[in-house]
Amino acid sequence: MTLAEIADELAAGCREGRERENLDRLYAPDAVSVEATDMGGGRETRGLAGIHGKHDWWGANFDVHAFATEGPFLHGEDRFALVFEMDTTDKATGERSQAREVAVYHVKDGKIVREEFFYTA
């Protein structure tokens, strides 16, 4: 797949609730995911199994009321970005909040090899 095809498919999967399917399809087995802040397990997660675990954690801890995806925004031949807006409730505290984040994806040999998330604390 080309960079544009990967970017378009990841964005479509986020809009259509196919995030988990796209992990197995679009990500390299040794992909790295990097958060802007330490969420309790370190900032960096290595490997597809770990990234699946992050998705499991998110689903177990947050109710999502609304989720929007903007983009993709291509950069050169090996990167693209998406902007996410979400309205969520923390299941443990009942606190509802809105957030916006930028995600930058690095692609090599037709697979996502790194994702980086940028947001305000």
DSSP line for 12-68: HHHHHT-HHHHHHHHEEEEEEEE-SS--SS-SEEESHHHHHHHHHHHHHHEEEEEEE
Instruction: Report the residue count for the chain.
Output: 121
pLDDT digits (tens, 9 = 90+) for 41-85: 789 999 999 999 999 999 999 999 999 999 999 999 999 999 999
Domains of the chain: 3-119 (3.10.450.50)
What's this model's pTM, rounded to 2 decimal places? 0.94
What is the distance between the alpha carbons of residues 67 and 71, in angstroms, rounded to a whole number? 14
